[in-house]
Amino acid sequence: MGKIVHRYVFREILVPFLFGLSLFTFTLLIARLLKLIELVVTRGVPVLNILKLLSYIMPAFLEVTVPMAMLLAILVAFGRLSADSEMVALRSSGLSLYQLIAPVAIFALLATAATAALSLWARPWGNRALKTALFDLARARASAGIKEQIFNDDFPGLVIYDERDSTQHNTIFAREGAMVSNPATQAVTLRLRDGFIHTTDGRAGTEYQTHFQFYDVNLDLRQMIEGARQRERDPKELTLAQLGRSIVAKRAAELPFIPELVEYHRKFSIPFACIVFALVAVPLGVQPVRAARSRGFTLSLVMIFAYYVLLSFGQALAEQALVSAAVGLWLPNAVFAALGAYLFERAARERTLDQLERLQSGLAALRDWLLGRLGAEAAP
């Protein structure tokens, strides 16, 4: 009977988990989706490229939404079992809360493993691939956007009509032009041939022309992809092994390594949230209520908000070196683990007392019945 009940409870958790994962992921992706759709509509970016960008973004969102969906699923599943009195039937058959925890533990461990894989490998890969894809997209956009006799303002301060120097405006005319890209430096060069530059000097109040055979205009794509130079060594793009090497190297060189240490602990603390969420969700979910689904959804949102507020607070303290990275990043897990242990122990104890009371009531009824029978048989 135990295995049948375990499979049943596991299925009860799986369905709301898939629903919650889709809902939470879509909600977090809305802002990004609008920007991606804008690229298709206004910039003519192929849909296939947009899907690639979406696949690079997804690991970062799934790392967060998998624990969230698991929390919602356990609350809804156990809430429904309680609302439909199935939990009463299971307890009456002799199953305790500790015996029902097996399918929850298996589900939590699977969610933990999936989140760990996303945190350790998928998210760093996605961040690196996203940066490369943005450069390729910006380069293609630059090549496609520069056309004959058309002013182009895709690059900051440069309208081909060169106004990077505020006191001197250059209008460039050329017979031919080609785009030359350098992925290593994330820059594109517009190489013009056989033309002239019409210059207006605001300081001297003069105009003149300069003829050229070849002229290179450097178009820095790093500004177009939001500061790629600063993100080249972003700890979020590093795997666990790379983070470890970076921390060791910076520590040896006496350089600050707090961002790397914070990211290192984050790669473990977020997956562990699946376990503490399960520990809290089970005792909260078994409380008898009528509207199990709405209550489960509300509780999950409150708990998710509280967890990530604590995580943001702890991470901010760690980044400012007010507390260690271990303390800051593991603070929400410690708080939720303590809360879950308290709630679980109390819920299990209440069930034990209920079972004892029912047993005592049953024994008392049996005693009264036996006494009644004996009295009837002894009567003349």
| pTM (2 d.p.) | 0.73
Contact 132, 172 (CB under 8 A): no
What's residue 190's pLDDT? Answer: 76
What's residue 118's pLDDT? Answer: 96
The secondary structure of 7-40 as a DSSP string is: HHHHHHHHHHHHHHHHHHHHHHHHHHHHHHHHHH
Rounded (5°) CA angle 136-217-181: 25
Q: Give the DSSP letter of residue 287.
A: S
Residues of the chain with pLDDT under 70: 1-2, 43, 91, 94, 138-167, 181-187, 202, 219-233, 289-292, 350-380
What's residue 363's pLDDT? Answer: 53
Chain segment 93-116, per-residue pLDDT in tens: 767 777 888 999 999 999 999 999
Contact 280, 304 (CB under 8 A): no
What's residue 73's pLDDT? Answer: 96
Q: Is the dihedral of CA 331, 305, 117, 259 positive or negative?
A: negative
